[in-house]
Structure 1
Amino acid sequence: MHTDSFDHDAALQACARGDRQALQRIYEHERRYLFGVALRIVRQHQRAEDVLHDAFISIWQRAASFDPARGEGRGWIFSIVRHAALNLVRNHLREVSVDEDAALSIYDQAVMANHATTDDPFERRVELGRLGDCLGGLEPGRRACIVMAYVDGCSHGEIAEQTGRPLGTVKAWIQRGMRALRECMG
């Protein structure tokens, strides 16, 4: 998991003041994880790069709208990337042949993004509370795999490597765990 003391909130506030170096620091610190999130959604390397580029332009332009009282900076950054990727998929869905696993992944990302970005703070707390309860009901290994995939942006291969589990097991755990979350959040 991604755990260090990088201050995303301060970096975003510096971006809002016009500090381009702050944006560069965010990029250097998060690009691997953000690219992973984009790639999982759009499923094409070049499109994921395009999403990341567009998302960083958006982060730069919208940094002043970041409100630390509404959530953490890292989550705000990741939500911009997720939304950019989902928008690209929605805009090009007719052009892209999507298999069932990819479609489930897109749906899962949309559900997670929707639950994480509601405008009503009370509703967001209720939804996040429900999500937390639903995640808490999963077996710990499955829960960890889902968090690594959807929060940290790790690929299935990276999760398998980090957890020491076979790739097929990781894929199955994530698929079954997301199905259980969809049913629980229902």
Structure 2
Amino acid sequence: MIASEGFDYDGALAACARGDQGALRRIYDRDSRSLLGVALRIVRHRQIAEDVLHDAFLNIWTRAGSFDPARGAGRGWIYSVVRNQALSLVRSGEREIGVDEELLDDLGAAAAADAGMADAFELHQDLGRLHDCLVGLDVVKRNSILYAYVDGCSHSEIAERLNSPLGTVKTWIRRGLTALRECMG
């Protein structure tokens, strides 16, 4: 795994938009394991998560031209494509299969064994910053974001959990994400 320092996600996406298949390969080689973890967390079945990842990379390839670096980081855009692909599948109700906890533990151990020390340090540092930024949010904004991005809940599910109007939940998430972007710099 390559350290995140020095990898130009924005440039790789621009190269994909120009038809550079090597750029897509570099993104895949660099982040596929982590992206598979994102999909697996949501769909809870490895085979389905692999399908989600495949479909997401097709979307990344075909939609790379729509990426706008002025609206956010390339890495975040890529992770959003995978997350949205997984959530769309779950929301469609086509497949919902539970995953064995041992399998999740094995995947976590395998991912940890593959990660380099520099990557672990950077991840820890980024997670520490993220934690500090999350602590700075209002409780409802923080919970809304965690339900959406950690638990994979839809806006409607979050509104139900928080016993709040749907529009209010959407506003909390949007404002919370804006505050997180500013805090993470």
Q: 1:101-137 deviations in whole A, cap 9, x for unaligned? A: xxx788832469xxxxxxxxxx98733245579xx9x
What secondary structure, in the 3-state scheme, does the structure 2 residue paired with 1:108 have?
Answer: coil
Length-normalised TM-score, structure 2 = 0.55
Residues in 2 aligned to 1:59 and 1:129: alpha-carbon distance in whole angstroms: 23
**How many Å apart are 1:96 and its aligned residue?**
2.5
Count of matched residue pairs? 120
Gaps of at least 5 residues in structure 1 are 113-122, 137-186
**Superposition RMSD in Å:** 3.4
Asked whether the 8 Å contact 2:16–2:24 carries over to 1, the reply is: yes
**How many Å apart are 1:98 and its aligned residue?**
6.1
Asked whether the 8 Å contact 1:40–1:105 carries over to 2, the reply is: no
Cα–Cα, structure 1 residues 108 and 131, in superposed 2: closer, same or farther, change >3 Å? farther
Letter in 2 for 1:53: H
Q: How does 1:119-158 map to 2 (within 5 A)?
A: 126-130=175-179
Asked whether the 8 Å contact 2:42–2:151 carries over to 1, the reply is: no
Residues in 2 aligned to 1:12 and 1:6: alpha-carbon distance in whole angstroms: 11
Match of 1:47 in 2: 48
Gaps of at least 5 residues in structure 2 are 100-146, 156-171
Match of 2:160 in 1: none
Length-normalised TM-score, structure 1 = 0.55
Q: How does 1:1-186 map to 2 (within 5 A)?
A: 3-92=4-93, 95-96=95-96, 108-110=151-153, 126-130=175-179
Asked whether the 8 Å contact 2:39–2:49 carries over to 1, the reply is: yes
Asked whether the 8 Å contact 2:43–2:96 carries over to 1, the reply is: no
Asked whether the 8 Å contact 1:58–1:80 carries over to 2, the reply is: yes
**How many Å apart are 1:14 and its aligned residue?**
0.1
Cα–Cα, structure 1 residues 5 and 106, in superposed 2: closer, same or farther, change >3 Å? closer
**How many Å apart are 1:5 and its aligned residue?**
2.0
Q: 1:53-81 deviations in whole A, cap 9, x for unaligned? A: 00000000000000000000000000000
Residues in 2 aligned to 1:12 and 1:132: alpha-carbon distance in whole angstroms: 20
Cα–Cα, structure 1 residues 62 and 107, in superposed 2: closer, same or farther, change >3 Å? same
Cα–Cα, structure 1 residues 110 and 3, in superposed 2: closer, same or farther, change >3 Å? farther
Q: Could you tell me the percent identity over the aligned residues?
A: 54
Letter in 2 for 1:43: R
Cα–Cα, structure 1 residues 124 and 91, in superposed 2: closer, same or farther, change >3 Å? closer
